[in-house]
Structure 1
């Protein structure tokens, strides 16, 4: 489980994040100019295209959600990808921006994600996030240097 879960979410985050940066060259340019934005880039990539799009849960007790009765022990599917684009929660939700502040997302379901290392891969100083971004010679594609954490 650990190998599959960590591998899949990390692979999805990296590929989705790279695609988002390529689709938003202005933000890629900002990241290249200021590698300190790496944590913001990772968090925004997680919000815009979460590696986990839906999560199944079982209701502990009966609830009414949007006028619909949900009995105790009913199966519920959280569409995290949709929740992360909720315009009531995120202004201009379809826009990828490194300026989005105070925008907790549901990329890993509900609540803070637990990391075996005890720390998030996106600390404020960006140590474990993709490091300085430079252009791969001749391709126009970004290349991430690893910054040891």
Structure 2
């Protein structure tokens, strides 16, 4: 009889705890904090300083675009489908926001500096939007900006 009473009390307490956790989110968060959850700092955790080359041969840095939003796309001119589709989408988005697009600099960064010369990039980006800035650099410069923007790429045979 005493064992049944103890089991009933324990069962009731467990049931009460389960109901409390299900009903009260604050209790659930205290008991089961999300693993790896991070509060936003309010600052982007991607991007950073870079030095690349415009089609004119002029070196530019991230500082040249300060005061404007940068809409950055990484790709290469021999890309058969994703790059053209992405750049068309970028151009369409700029068209849809109208005058607000004046505060945006759309940027195409080539991840294939061996084949994408500044002249080739200039001709390529003009197929999509006159506002699109094409950039490239040395393999080390491209690797650095890709790392800063958390972009993975690799050359395939």
TM-score bracket for the superposition, by shorter chain length? under 0.3
- What's the TM-score once normalised by structure 2's chain length? 0.24
Identify the structure with the greater helix proportion: 2
TM-score, normalising length: structure 1: 0.25
Which structure: larger Rg? 2
